[in-house]
Amino acid sequence: MNTKEWIIEQSDFSDHSKNGLMESLFTMGNGFLGLRGNFPLIPSAEEKGTFINGFFESGPITYGEKAYGYADNWQTIVPLPEGKNVEFEADGLPLFAEGLSSGNLYRQLNLKEGSTHWSFTLQDRKGRKYKGRILILIPFNTRGVVRFQWRISAPDSVKTLVIKSSVQPEKKEGTETDDPRLPGHFDGSTLTGSLLENKEHSLYALHAQGSGLSAYCSMDNRVDGLAGLKVRNESNHTGLLEIIEGSPMGEVTLEKTVSYNFGPADDSGPVIAGLLKELESVAQHTTEELMAGHKAFMELFWKNSDVLIEGDSEAQLSLRYNLFQLLQSAGRDSRSSIAAKGLSGSGYEGHYFWDAETYVLPFFIYTNPDVARSMLKYRISIVPAAEKRAGKLSHKGILFPWRTINGEECSAYYPAGTAQYHINSDIALGLASYIDVTGDDSLLNEGGDKLLAGTARFWCDLGTYVDGKGFCFHSVTGPDEYTAIVDNNYFTNLCARENLRSAARLLENRVDEEERLSWIRRADEIYLPEEGGVTPQDDSFLEKEKWDFANTDKSSYPLLLHYHPLSIYRKQVLKQADVIMAQALFPSELSKEQMKRNFDYYEQVTTRDSSLSACAQGISAFHLGYGDLAWEYFNETLHTDRKDLHGNVSHGLHTAAMGGSFLMIIKGFLGLESHPGSFFFKPALPDRLKSISLQLKLKESTLRIVLEQKRVLYKSVSGTAEFFHYGKKIRLDEEKEESFLIPERVSVEFTLFRPKT
């Protein structure tokens, strides 16, 4: 095993301008609790952050001019009290007051084990030298617990060592910004803290007055290696503080356990009881014992999820990093999902978007379906709110929010928010894909039937039949947010059709038969332009003047930060793939000739301002033989975060791009297309790689695939696997394998006729 392909490391801490980037990259979490990589050893932090998936504050959106049906309240994830804080004093001298030499400070994030390790050396003002190690662990088999293990060796001359272990609330400060990706309106004034006393532990409570939620935290400190131990609890309304004092005997070990939980402020009893029970249970275990259970979880995850890349170590490391962060970010409690930034920062305010189902859900469906099921259960849980939202907008059925935490729409800008009705089909098709790939239709009995029926009824109500055209959808916005409020967005229409067909297929004998048949008829009537020429993104897109790329300076990207929306909407310019996204997700919908015409055209007017776009463009480029361009896009979506390609990782990671790196492998390189009950592979390997190997869960089987330049091997690891390889039906019983030659591919060079953005 090449250990370098499992390790994210940092040894140079001299450039403080990179602190925000590193804080995001070294994020740790377990789907419920997330910690940014700031730490006391680093003198300054760009954004301290400890977050709970689903804990937020809310308040009225301030509009200069408000109209009926606008979103009422903003929602934003808020940082919890920081439990990372530990201070040491040796004979009255603060050990970290002078900072640390960057040459003696090192940390690594071990992706295989799922833990962060620090090492350091320092000397105090008397010249005495100390060595230390730290391990940080957020066990996946716990809910809201983090363990910090400090080991520090003090010289014999040190008589008294004082440890100050605290949990301190962070001051939230609002900032004015024109960047819609950043939080700017919340100053923390509606958050209040209080100290709660328990016979065993002190607790700190953080109350979010607007959302009616309260978060609670407590800690347990256990020390070994100090003689004459004295412990004082000095917790108060400003936070939790425990002071531990004694004489060091060789290496001193501090095992600090911090536990978090949250819930409705008016029902705190069960929340606090659950927190304390978990804290007491975990605190009695050594870090080594916790690591053993955690490693077992991680071993199973990597067994199901690892993608082995031979021929590019950088690609291997970034892919593993991406998959690891997806695991850390996705809620597994059926009450949360995965935010655009995961649990790595407050960017996009902790909201769930279409990213969750379109980009991330496929990874979990094919590798860890239990996580996918949980994500879908969250969407099912907010169906009542979606039904209410649809009624508010005078629609039948349900309408999911474009961005949300608790199920209510919180997007203040409706042209690029509420108007993105395709969110309904993104979610519905995610549910349909889960059922088709796993064979588990039990979600239909747990509210999934209402989700599918509600989205189908919505589409039937939203559209209008136009003579000579068909069933049309007016005043909608597709994935491309540089084009808004248009008629017949191709992506939206195609997804609506598939939504209706999936609902009709999966809800047979579950809804009124006449209504079910009406969905099929409506699906068949939906307007989609015939092949020939370029598939229009919408009814008016091809009529517009093209954006003047030649006279747009590189500093003017992303355009959304430098031009009024109307100036952008009036031009042929894309923030991200739209028609190309549709043909990446539904490659059988159009002929290869049509897809090539579309790609060649839209590639010339797509800015790549969005991190969501690269995987869709890469999948299409690979299918069309544009090998070099496809490889470029693969590297873009693959390295978006680890190499900070968009220059904004300091605000948080890009979970959609991370999911996109896996999507490009299965839909691009493996050529996987799933239809109800059937799986079709058309594999081919990029020229720059020697092999890719992974395993996918297909219904009740697990299929291992080893793709090389000229050959592909399929092996059924468990169950009987049935699939198609380039149109040939294959059946493999358990432990059976079969290999095939790969048809030759002709690589074509793509020419961009405008300045590269």
Query: So which residues are the catalytic ones?
Result: 481
The CA distance from 122 to 525, in Å, is: 72
Our CA dihedral for 204, 209, 214, 219, rounded to 10 degrees, sits at -20
The CA distance from 263 to 421, in Å, is: 31
Distances in Å between the Cα of 293 and the Cα atoms of 286, 287, 290 are 11, 10, 6
Any idea which residue has 């940014």 for tokens?
A: 36
Beta strands in 26-114 (DSSP E): 28-29, 33-35, 50-52, 56-60, 73-77, 86-90, 93-94, 105-110
Is the peptide bond prior to 79 cis by the omega test (within 30 degrees of 0)? no
Cβ atoms within 10 Å of 511's Cβ, excluding its own? 18
**Any known ligand binding at 355?**
yes
Which DSSP letter does residue 738 get? E
For helices 490-506 and 513-525, give the axis angle rounded to 10 degrees.
150
The CA distance from 715 to 162, in Å, is: 59
Our CA dihedral for 501, 502, 506, 512, rounded to 10 degrees, sits at -40
The CA distance from 233 to 690, in Å, is: 59
Distances in Å between the Cα of 533 and the Cα atoms of 530, 593, 595, 744, 748 are 9, 10, 10, 28, 21
The CA distance from 362 to 353, in Å, is: 15
Determine contact, residues 340/386, Cβ cutoff 8 Å.
no
Any idea which residue has 């468990």 for tokens?
A: 718
What DSSP string describes 374-393? Answer: HHHHHHHHTHHHHHHHHHHT
Determine contact, residues 426/467, Cβ cutoff 8 Å.
no
Alpha helices in 358-447 (DSSP H): 361-367, 369-381, 383-392, 422-438
Secondary structure, 3-state, 529-580: CCCCCCCCCCCCHHHCEECCHHHCCHHHCCHHHCCCHHHHHCEECECCCCHH
State phi, psi for 664 to the nearest 5 degrees. Answer: -65, -30
* Sequence-separated (6 or more) residues with CB below 8 Å from residue 400: 379, 382, 386, 389, 423, 424, 427
Which DSSP letter does residue 520 get? H
**Any known ligand binding at 10?**
no
Distances in Å between the Cα of 449 and the Cα atoms of 39, 435, 439, 445 are 46, 12, 15, 7
Alpha helices in 284-330 (DSSP H): 287-305, 313-329
**Any known ligand binding at 354?**
yes
* Sequence-separated (6 or more) residues with CB below 8 Å from residue 583: 589, 590, 595, 598, 599, 620
**Any known ligand binding at 578?**
no
The CA distance from 496 to 433, in Å, is: 15
The CA distance from 681 to 696, in Å, is: 12
The CA distance from 179 to 316, in Å, is: 33
Quick one: which of 567, 706, 31 has its CA closest to 334? 31
Report the binding-site residues for substrate: 354-355, 575-576
